[in-house]
Copies of this chain bind each other. A is one copy, B any other.
Amino acid sequence: METNTKTTPVTAPADDPRTADAVARARAERDRTEQRLFELLRIPSVSTKVEHAGDCRSAAAFLREELADGGLEHAEVLETGGLPCVYADWLHAGDDAPTVLVYGHYDVQPAEPLELWETPPFEPTVRDGSVYGRGTADDKGQLWIHVVALRAMLADGGTLPVNVKVIIEGEEESGSEHLDGFVERERERLACDVVLVSDTHMLSAEQPSIVSSLRGMAYCEVTVQGPAVDLHSGIFGGAVRNPAEALANLIASCKDADGRITIPGFYDDVVEPSADEREAMTKIGFDDDEFRRDAGVSATWGESGWSVYEQIGARPTLEINGMWSGYIEPGAKTVLPASAHAKISMRLVADQDWSRIGDLLERHLQTQAKDMPGVERVTVEPLHGGRPVLVDTTHPAMKAATTALEATFGKPPVFTREGGSIPVVATFTEQLDAPTVLMGFGLPDDCLHSPNEKFSLDQLHKGVETSIAFWHAYADVHDS
């Protein structure tokens, strides 16, 4: 939560003799950079839908080709048991130079509800300096930054001051089910000093930031089974427990009026921020009004006693991501549904364990349901889980990212806590013993996971120059 206090003057990458050529090349190729990105964006690589498995593989093949064409070596599509990963590297900086593993994901969220998109989700369209489409910011546009930066540096016989490996996965939006096993098996190939990820957003276009904390996640699907089949609500209604109503009661039982989660044991392992940390969070420059405007709500609501910034970054949450039961098409149907369903995700903070939290949810719901005669069965199926992460802000690579961002944006970044989850970060910590630098270039209004997702082209191109600056900044800090 510290704001960065580094004061050494930094040189813009275009003016630094070590990076000026690469920046010039990147600037000259901006049109190609955008057009090739749009090609990638046109591939509907929705990992959560099996019918898009072929598209996911097309996106992987496209990236492999682009990396190889850009001067990286050993470019390969690697099987994981699920959707594949793309790998490439450039390892000629010498044994003394550090190794950076760049991580990104080529898969995207489903685009539904389609009718709310102003332009088709898989037809990238530029409006007001941003490209609109599914995956523009999350994460195709952001991973593209490093692909382009490496290409600009390696062109015309150029070199890198650090060793670089690139790994781009295809199951991030569906729980990275096969990545843990893959990273474990490929520990040698992926060995590195630090992981660099651009899959988060900055506080604003004027205020760069680095994420120092990510929430984990436990995502479950809950099914409440009532009668054996859908019944006529006139003939049976009044004497048969309605599973939609039972589900509503179960959901309502998970939180109290103060927005506090009432699942027994839920908060047991939460590391509460210290008074100093809470004080620091008040100075982060987080704008509640802007948050409210971005969300499109007249008032925020969350766990009482915590600021909005803390509610979304430092506190665990429970959200209903989907809910359905009975007749959901237009018109009236007098049915008493046989079952009711909800997708429930809980964002977790250190040291909550997603597997235990899933169990606690299940135990709570089963206990509640015991007092509901006519609820025949409640099942809680875990859909995916991820560990929360706190990043060491004093690591050399964090300092390098700070320098690179300041050099490009003219202002030192602040460290922020982000509500989202990138489960693989914990995997890298455990399997590769490497910390992760979360240097994101998205903006808060990018509509991730929503209709009309966008990514600012200005952020894209500034991101490329930041990436170019980062390699040298990291080599500098590592040498010193």
Asked if A234 and B419 sit within 8 Å, CB to CB, the answer is yes
- Docked Cα-Cα span, A383 to B242, in Å, equals 20
B447 and A229 within 8 A (CB): yes
Q: Are B321 and A323 in contact (CB under 8 A)?
A: no
CA distance A234 to B247 in the complex (A): 23
> A230 to B116, alpha carbons, bound, how many Å?
10
Residues of the B chain whose Cβ atoms lie less than 8 Å from the Cβ of A343 = 326-328, 332-333
B-chain residues with CB within 8 Å of residue A226 when the two chains form the complex? 297
Residues of B within 8 A of A112 (CB): 327, 329
A81 CA to B80 CA, complexed, in Å: 61
Contacts A327-B112, A449-B333 given; does A376 touch B297 at CB 8 Å: yes
Contacts of A110 in B (CB 8 A): 327, 329, 331, 333
- Write the A205-244 contact mask toward B (1 if CB under 8 angstroms, else 0): 0000000000101010000001111111111111111101
Task: Name the CB-closest residue of B to A229.
Answer: B450
A300 to chain B: which residues have CB within 8 Å?
239-241, 373-374
Contact string, A448-468, partner B, CB cutoff 8 A, digits 1/0?
A: 111110000000000000000
Q: Is the CB of A325 within 8 A of B325?
A: no
Query: A255–B129 Cα gap in the complex (Å)?
Result: 52
A334-374 contacts to B, CB under 8 A, are 334-338, 340-343, 345, 347, 372-374
Listed residue (A175, A325, A327) with the most chain B CB atoms within 10 angstroms of its CB: A327
- Do A245 and B255 form a contact, CB below 8 Å, given A326-B322, A343-B327? yes
Contact check, B291 vs A239: say whether CB atoms are below 8 A apart: yes
Considering the complex, which residues of chain A in the window 258-317 have a beta carbon less than 8 Å from any beta carbon of chain B? 291, 294-303, 308, 311-312, 315-317
Contacts of A347 in B (CB 8 A): 233-234, 237-238
* Interface contact B297-A332, CB-CB below 8 Å: no
Complex Cα distance, B247 from A374, in Å, reads 22
- Please, how many angstroms separate the alpha-carbon atoms of A113 and B339 in the complex? 12
- Shortest A121–chain B CB gap in Å is 13
Residue-wise interface mask of A (68-96) relative to B, using a CB-CB cutoff of 8 A (1 in contact, 0 not): 00000000000000000000000000000
- Choice from B249, B321, B341, B342 contacting A233 with Cβ under 8 Å: B321
Knowing A48-B333, A330-B49, the reply to whether A228 touches B319 (Cβ < 8 A) is: no
Taking a contact as CB atoms under 8 Å apart, the answer to whether A322 and B345 are in contact is no
Q: How far is the CA of A444 from the CA of B249 in the complex (A)?
A: 29
**Smallest distance from the beta carbon of A161 to chain B beta carbons, Å?**
34
Q: How large is the interface on A (under 10, 10 to 19, 20 to 34, 35 or more residues)?
A: 35 or more
Question: Would A320 and B331 be within 8 Å (CB), given that A239-B312, A295-B231 are in contact?
Answer: no
Additional A-B contacts beyond A112-B329, A229-B450, A239-B302 (11; CB < 8 A): A48-B332, A48-B333, A116-B230, A174-B331, A219-B334, A226-B297, A230-B450, A230-B451, A238-B317, A326-B343, A334-B421
Question: Can you sample 30 A-B contacts with CB below 8 Å?
Answer: A109-B333, A109-B335, A110-B327, A110-B333, A174-B332, A217-B234, A219-B332, A229-B296, A230-B449, A231-B449, A232-B420, A233-B317, A233-B345, A233-B347, A237-B319, A237-B345, A238-B312, A238-B316, A239-B295, A241-B297, A248-B251, A251-B252, A298-B374, A299-B373, A299-B374, A301-B372, A320-B326, A322-B325, A327-B343, A332-B343
Chain A interface residues toward B at CB < 8 A: 48-49, 109-110, 112-113, 116, 173-175, 201, 215, 217, 219, 226-242, 244-245, 247-249, 251-252, 255, 291, 294-303, 308, 311-312, 315-317, 319-338, 340-343, 345, 347, 372-374, 376, 383-384, 418-421, 444, 447-452
What 9 A-B pairs are tightest by C-beta distance, nearest first?
A: A228-B296, A234-B420, A48-B331, A244-B320, A238-B317, A248-B251, A299-B373, A322-B326, A322-B327
